[in-house]
Amino acid sequence: MADSCDILISGGGIAGLIAAATFGAAGFDVICVDPTPPVTARDDAGADLRTTAILQPAKALLQVAGIWAYLESHAAPLEVMRIIDAGGAEPEARVVKDFKSADISDQPFGWNLPNWLLRRELLARLNELDRVDFRPGLGTANLFTRTQSAQVTLSDGTQVSARLVLACDGRDSPMRRAANIPVRTTRYGQKALAFAVIHDLPHQNVSTEIHRSGGPFTLVPLPDHDGKPSSAIVWMERGPRAQALHQMEADDFEVEMNRRSCGALGQLRLASRRSIWPIISQSAARMSGERVALMAEAAHVVPPIGAQGLNMSLGDLRVLLDLAQSRPERLGDATMMEAYHKARHGDILMRVKGIDLLNRTSMLSPRPLRDLRAFGLNALYSLAPVRKTLMQMGLGVK
């Protein structure tokens, strides 16, 4: 006999775990599966060393789901977004512009947390929720849908009957493929390095994005590490250069890292191992199919610019939750799935295209084009209404 639930979530990454906690707290019966058990300690093999910024609108959702109480004490506020253009002959800051959260709100832009820690605290929240059954070590294998329900076969042969299948299973989503929803993918020939550092100067809750060529070098505030100021870094470069950096001895890598940082936080020293992953943009042709909703990287993938990735995912979740709670008897039916697609698809396409443009601009190599980029940054910043609108759009409130 098949197990049954209201919602089967395929994928137990950060987005999937948040979705499980949110729907469980809202009174829905949830089963969440992921073939890879979460790694929840910073220095364990496989730990995700990237960080995630929880922006203002996302915080409200996490509070309702009872998640924010687990995260608040670990979070580093993001009060200033600093953009530096270092596209001159030498890697030196030539244009520095600060976008301040105080200009549009009495709260920070967001709060930054390491991904491994997010997973740890989300699991702690799930353990409190009787309506959530998390099954790490299991994946989804097959999908069969009817107008009234979906039947999912798990990797151990177990069958689960659900009213809604929520695909949070990554850019190669097996549930998206099973639902025959195509995707459009853009490859940039870039890779990103992620690692943590300690540094001489306090970050003062400023997230700093340095543009030269190959992609941005971004320093994001973290809580102090071993009593010293600490930041997470995402360093995007063209593939061969990124691979060479990843393979360097630590001492040589630190030399290159400090040169690329333009001394923004003084001397940087590695405080973690380095991870590397490819950069793509991707968007699904539809956000839904019969009894299936796509969310997070199953629906959209963007380069790590402007803290948009998870916050776009939580935008998906807000819409799904609102639809599910407004008409719970219609959970997963064709009307709900069509409403979800219409509510999210246009905004996602706009953001994917916008971040694609920002990334291509950050990759510029020819000096005249880098000079034009610096001119554009100055022009946008000098127009206060434009600057305010850009900040609001980044938060997802316009």
The percentage of the chain sitting over the pLDDT mark of 70, rounded to a whole number, equals 90
Where in the chain do CATH 3.30.9.10 domains reside? 72-112+188-279+365-395
Pairing of strands 159-167, 3-10: parallel
Location of structure tokens 């915080």: 59
Cα dist from 240 to 86, 123, 259, 262, whole Å = 21, 37, 18, 22
* CA–CA separation, 189 and 101 (whole Å): 33
Q: Which of 110, 119, 127 is nearest to 60 (CA)?
A: 110
Q: Quick check: 134 and 12 in contact, CB under 8 A?
A: yes
Instruction: Name the segment(s) of the chain with CATH classification 3.50.50.60.
Output: 3-45+118-185+283-359
Do the beta carbons of residue 27 and residue 131 sit within 8 Å?
Answer: yes
pLDDT in tens, the chain (398 residues): 569 999 999 999 999 999 999 999 999 999 999 999 998 888 888 888 788 888 877 888 999 999 999 999 998 888 888 888 888 778 888 878 887 887 777 788 889 898 999 999 999 999 999 999 999 999 999 999 998 999 999 999 999 999 999 999 999 999 999 999 999 999 999 999 999 999 999 999 898 989 888 888 999 888 888 899 999 999 999 999 999 999 999 999 999 999 999 999 999 999 998 999 999 999 999 999 999 999 999 999 998 877 677 888 999 999 999 999 999 999 999 999 999 999 999 999 988 888 888 878 777 666 666 656 655 655 555 545 544 554 455 545 44
For residue 23, give both structure tokens.
């729907």
DSSP per-residue codes, 361-384: HHT--SHHHHHHHHHHHHHHHH-H
Cα gap 225→370, rounded to integer Å: 35
pTM over 0.85: yes
Q: What is the pLDDT of residues 81-129, one digit of tens each?
A: 888 888 877 888 887 888 788 777 778 888 989 899 999 999 999 999 9
**Cβ–Cβ contacts within 10 Å for residue 147, how many?**
8
CB 166 within 8 A of CB 10: yes
CATH among 3.60.20.10, 2.102.10.10, 2.60.40.10, 3.50.50.60 for 3-45+118-185+283-359: 3.50.50.60
CATH class of 72-112+188-279+365-395: alpha beta
